[in-house]
Each structure stands twice: as C-alpha cells, then as structure tokens.
Structure 1
C-alpha cells in the first residue's frame, strides 16, 4: 500500500494562545479550547470563550491533543478557538470519517515522536508528516462505514460495563449509608471538629511529570485519594534541586481528604495512607486531618465520609462550579457530622464494611479488566481496518 504525508490530503492548523484578556468563562461567545481537558467521548464541552482567537477550528475538523496525553482525539461540533495544546486537522482530499479512524491508529506513533521533559509534546509538522494510506475515496468510505458500525457495538458493551460499575458504587454508598444511619440513631452524631486535632494542607512546587525513582521524593496529586483508597502511584517527582519539606511527609495511618478538584463528585474523597514503599509529600490540594484516636479510628471516619448524608454536606459546602476550580473550605470539613459509637463498635463496623466492600471491589476489578479488553479490541479493529488487514467488504477475516 502506497503512503503519502498527511499534509497533502488534510490541512493542519496549529493552535495558538490568544492574549489572556480575550479569554473568559463560557457563556454565549465563541467557545475556546485550551487543550484536551475539555474533550468528551467524541465532542468537546467548552469551559471558556474567546472574543479574538488566534486560530480557529471549524465544525467537522478533527481536534488532536499535541500535549500530554499526546494523540487524544475529538471532533469539533461547531467553530472553536483553539489554544496551543491542540491542532485541528481538516480533511481536504480524504474521507473525514476515515481520517478520524486512521488518526486513532497513529496515537502510538505520535507518542514515539513526542519530546520534552516537563511535558511531552508533538508539533503540527509532526502530524503533517504522518504517512497516510493512499487509497481510493470509495474504499475509505467503506472502511469508515465498517468501523462506525463495529465500534458502535463495542461502545454499547462499554456503556453496559460502566453502568454495572456505577451500580456497584451505589451499592457501596448504600452499605456505608446504612451503617451511618444505624450508628447515628443509636449513638448520635458530633461535628468532626470535636474529634480532630488539626487540619493542614501541603505544598505543591513545580514537579517533574513522572513517578519518583529510588532515592527521589514524590509529591502526591489530588487524585491520590480517588475511589476511597490511597493510590501511591498518583504523584509527581520533586526536582532534585528542591529540598523536601519534611513536615509534609506522608506516614502510615494518615487520614487524607481531597480539598480541590474539577469534579464535584471527587472533591471530599478520602483515604487512609497504608505502609509506603517510597517517600511522598502532601500537596496543597489535599487535607491531612489529624484525628483524636481516643475517640475515632481513621478507617471508620473514612467509611462515614462516603455516606450520602456527609457527601451531601460536602457538595453543599463546596465553592465553585463543576468543571472549574472547586474548593472545600476547612470550616465545612470541621462541621461535617459523623456518628460516634464506642471504639470497639467502630472497629466492628469497619471490619464488616471492609469485608463487603472487598467483594464489591473484586467485581469492579473484573469489570475493569473487561473494559481494558474492549479498549484493546477496539484499537486492534481500527488499526487492522485502516491498514487493510481486514476485508471490510465481507468482514470475513484477514487478507492474504
């Protein structure tokens, strides 16, 4: 199969940052995309608008992220101003849907071309140099139609698996809410401030976007507590020229809470730090809450924080709008109501909840594996179709 540089069949438009005074929160103006943060499943959801964009994408253009994650794709469903984190690819001498699917097959190639230390990136020239298959427009259309149909089936399977995950999350929420309600009815509730010593937030210097190696320090990200358990891999590396602020070192048993997030569902997420294999520092988007362990145990408080009554209080007390800079003020945290059973009863509740949630988490891991397999299947199907390995006329298998 003959190939030609992409720039000969499509126009590549490199995004450019406009002056900051032209950019403001989105209302009714020309939507502006800074990068892939606004990407959806196929079309973006803008957070900003720009009255005088330097570069524009038109409806139907393919938007491609040129900064980490390199290669993320969306389709412009209207005109957008685009920032320097994006390129627009406009089909000129090729089928637009075939171009869309073919670009999916080029993500690994783009990542191999990406350069940079703070963040990896590619240029518009890199994208224009990608080798595009020189096949007839009618064949491109057939391949695009085939992939539209086959990937729609995979998307449906993915949606069903995600629905199952959501139901499992609701089951967890139901379990902890039942325990919360029963304990509150029997023992009463107190404000969190009555069972804590102090609340602190950490330090967020400019870090290297990679995991820390042996002898290096890491600074955790806000996402380290998502999902209700501590994720030590969610960190960045503290640069060698910066001295770690030891007062923010994380220790086994620390009780952490997310205080800032772009998602109202994630703000207020909590986790207890397990035994660590690397040295990590608290970031300023996470609260470390020092509890009075004569009155409460961290694991019990963590479960209660996931209950519906507490989550409602957290969301009511959060400042900001979804998708923007949401912040959970410390006074709101101090006023959260939690049941106060005796320590022995707290330990019993934690043990019972841990056992039930462990079974649910096992089912969630199985669903995660299935979602990974579906993603692999989708990518393999796309690559095989656009490279001619599948006869899409019959979809009967691999060509000899």
Structure 2
C-alpha cells in the first residue's frame, strides 16, 4: 500500500521495509482539559499543531521548543507518551506531511505519528525519506473537515533500507544539499519582502496625497451594504467546472488578488442559496482568519458563476460612483492594516475575527471616480516591474521545490551514488 502512496519507491535499488519494523511506531494524546490539575506545573515539551509553523518551510530539522507543555500528572493520566530525543515525528491531521526530529524528550498530541528508530535506521535518513513522501501523503489524505492520514495507513508506510553507513552518507549529502537550497530560498524570500515593502510605501504615499487633497470618509458612507455568506456542508475537493456550485475558501482572497479556483464543491444534494452567489465587482473582505490575514481584501473578477460567499468572508456592495478596486487598494494601506490589528478580536492567536462595524469605520479618500481609477492604474504601472520580478522569483521557488523533491527521492532510493554525486545530474 505504501508504494501506492509513494510510487517512486518502486524505483528503489534497495529493498523497502515497513518503517514500523525498524522503528517503534507511536503517537500522542491530549490530557483532559476539564481537569485543571493536569495543566498545572507543566514542564514537558508537547508538540501540537500550533508548532507546525516551524516545519512548513522544511528548513527545521530538529524541533527544540514547543508552544505548549504538559505536566507529569497529565502525562500519567492520559495516553500521551514521553518520546526520547531523536524520535522522528510526522503531522498526520489538518496540516499533513510535516516532519522533524525531537531535540529532547517530548510528548505529542494525537495529531502526530512518531517513530523511535532502532539500530538499523538512521533518524536523519528517515526524516529525508518522509519529506520525500510529503506530497504523496497530502494527496491521499482523506476527510471532509480536516484532512487526515489514519494510523492503519501510517502502519503500512515503507522506507528503502540501504546499509546504515549508506544511510548516514545519504543523510549527510541531503543535509548539505538542502542547506544550499534553503539559503537560496531565504535570499529569494528577502527580495520578495523588499518588493512588498516598496509596493506598500508607494501605496501609502499615494493614499496620503489623496487624503490631504480630498479628505476621508468612513467606508459606510460609500457602501450600500455589507453581508456575510453561508456555511453549507461542502466536499473537500473543488468543483470540477462552472456548471457545478462551489463555496469560496478564505484563500480565494489574498493581498488584493481574487482566485475563484480556491473553492469547495457544494454537494448536488444541497440546494444552492442563490442569494449568496458572488458577482463580479463585489468587494470581498476576510471576516475571520489568522492575525496576519484577517481583513484581507480582493475584488471578485472574472467568471464568478455558481460561486457562493462563505460565512467567513464579508461582501461589500459599494455605491455606483465608487471603484471597488480603489477601495481594495486603500484597504491594503498601512493605516487600515493598523486599524485591523487593533480591532480584530479572537480567543486564540490562531483565529481572530473582524467586526462589520470596524470595517464601516475604515477611512477612504473622498476622491472623484476618475481619480479613483487613475490611482489604481498608476499603482499598477509603478509596481509592474516589481511584479515581473516577483513572478520570476515565484517560478524559481517552484523549480527549487521540484529540485528538492528530485534530490530526496533519487538519493533515498539509491538512483545515484551520493559518495561521488554532486547532485547536478538529477533531473527534476
């Protein structure tokens, strides 16, 4: 079954063996939150989904710090296990396929699978093999609410088994290659950050000039209504074509850009609430999201046929003399971003909400329609060279990702000799 999950394992020059035969397979648990005694004097590092952010880039090999800890009493009165340093972890729910090595004795939540390697398996080699499988694990994860790799499938995962010294050579080679690719990715990320700063400075300067010339009005004076959508039970996969109905995902609204392909398919058995169909020109604002992304805006463009507004996104209908693209760009300005940071509310740092009354108070320059349109067009002209560079960097990022995957899969399956290979001959 594992070779069905990761077909490239069929090319292995070494026999593939179930990982559970080479390492002790385990998982974790959450002590009862209803018993305060279990959450007093917490000293044991406890890896949860809140720590996955450390692993998303793939640059963290050893996880040494956790957001939460549990107590020894909570550990003793739950199915949680204290795993030894060197144990390899894999996230298997919600954020599927992220992996690392424990830097000290730690416990995990039930969202992780763990392998404590025996004498035949090098933890760093296993880590690279799991990272090679990550795209395959994400592809086969199931679940309508949260994607999950279930433990029976985890038990069937296999790994190529070269001699241990060869495992160490492979791990050393991949450590060096990944470090080089990580440094390239870091440099590209720094350039992208500078581009974002430049674009923000241009946007803020232009908004400031319009505000001084025409004054500001609260957004409520420029809009006809603000609505939030619906939350029907949807399928995890996107709709297959415009003839089907879909519900937009939060990711459809991102930094001024609208992506209609980011949607979840509405089952044919569910009648579509047509009053919530998105129309071209609707100004969309994320109502709830992470602190960094709440209040993100975009204008619905292109073919929005049979796309429904979710309850986590506001739809703002503006007056006919107000350009929605202008309001979207103003909403991305630093002044409104700071307001969002000050007014967004939430019970945790992972999800905050933005109230409609806060949005209604956003200051927008009271410029005539023609100047609104000129502002938007000028901003596009000013930032066009930077966006061209951004596209090239994003393309290189994709190539680096493909290169990373090709190196890992070729190395762990023995398709080239890492003791002599530079990695330059590995095709993506």
Aligned to 2:86: 60
Instruction: Give 1:3 shift.
Output: 3.0
The one-character-per-residue Cα deviations of 1:238-287 (angstroms, maximum 9, x if unpaired) are 2222222122110010001112112x221111111012254111111111
**Separation in structure 1 between the aligned mates of residue 301 and residue 259 of structure 2, nearest angstrom:** 10
**Separation in structure 1 between the aligned mates of residue 48 and residue 342 of structure 2, nearest angstrom:** 29
Instruction: Give 1:120 shift.
Output: 5.0
The one-character-per-residue Cα deviations of 1:38-97 (angstroms, maximum 9, x if unpaired) are 342324875555553423344432221223554222333445543333211221221111
Instruction: Give 1:37 shift.
Output: 7.0
Q: Which piece of structure 1 moves more, 114-123 or 195-204?
A: 114-123
The question of whether the paired residues in 2 share the 8 Å contact of 1:36 and 1:65 is answered with no
With over 3 angstroms needed to count, the CA separation of the structure-2 counterparts of 1:78 and 1:226, relative to structure 1, is: farther
With over 3 angstroms needed to count, the CA separation of the structure-2 counterparts of 1:120 and 1:324, relative to structure 1, is: closer
1:336 aligns with 2:362: yes
Give secondary structure in 2 for the equivalent of 1:338: strand
1:219 aligns with 2:276: no
**Separation in structure 2 between the aligned mates of residue 258 and residue 238 of structure 1, nearest angstrom:** 20
Aligned to 1:199: 226
Size of the aligned set, in residue pairs, is 397
Q: 1:282 aligns with which of 309, 317, 334?
A: 309
Q: When the two structures are superposed, what TM-score results if normalisation uses the length of structure 2? A: 0.84
Aligned to 1:317: 343
- CA RMSD for the aligned pairs? 2.8
The question of whether the paired residues in 2 share the 8 Å contact of 1:390 and 1:396 is answered with no
1:147 aligns with 2:160: no
**Structure 2 gap ranges (5+):** 1-13
Q: Which piece of structure 1 moves more, 109-118 or 327-336?
A: 109-118
Aligned to 1:40: 54
Q: When the two structures are superposed, what TM-score results if normalisation uses the length of structure 1? A: 0.89
**Structure 1 gap ranges (5+):** none
**Separation in structure 2 between the aligned mates of residue 393 and residue 230 of structure 1, nearest angstrom:** 48
**Separation in structure 1 between the aligned mates of residue 329 and residue 88 of structure 2, nearest angstrom:** 44
The question of whether the paired residues in 1 share the 8 Å contact of 2:128 and 2:171 is answered with yes
Aligned to 1:354: 380
The question of whether the paired residues in 2 share the 8 Å contact of 1:44 and 1:74 is answered with no
The question of whether the paired residues in 1 share the 8 Å contact of 2:222 and 2:318 is answered with yes
With over 3 angstroms needed to count, the CA separation of the structure-2 counterparts of 1:277 and 1:303, relative to structure 1, is: closer
Aligned to 2:289: 261
Aligned to 1:272: 299
Q: 1:231 aligns with which of 227, 250, 259?
A: 259
Instruction: Give 1:28 shift.
Output: 5.3
The question of whether the paired residues in 2 share the 8 Å contact of 1:272 and 1:298 is answered with yes
Instruction: Give 1:113 shift.
Output: 5.7
**Separation in structure 2 between the aligned mates of residue 44 and residue 362 of structure 1, nearest angstrom:** 39
The question of whether the paired residues in 1 share the 8 Å contact of 2:255 and 2:332 is answered with no
Q: Which piece of structure 1 moves more, 372-381 or 40-49?
A: 40-49
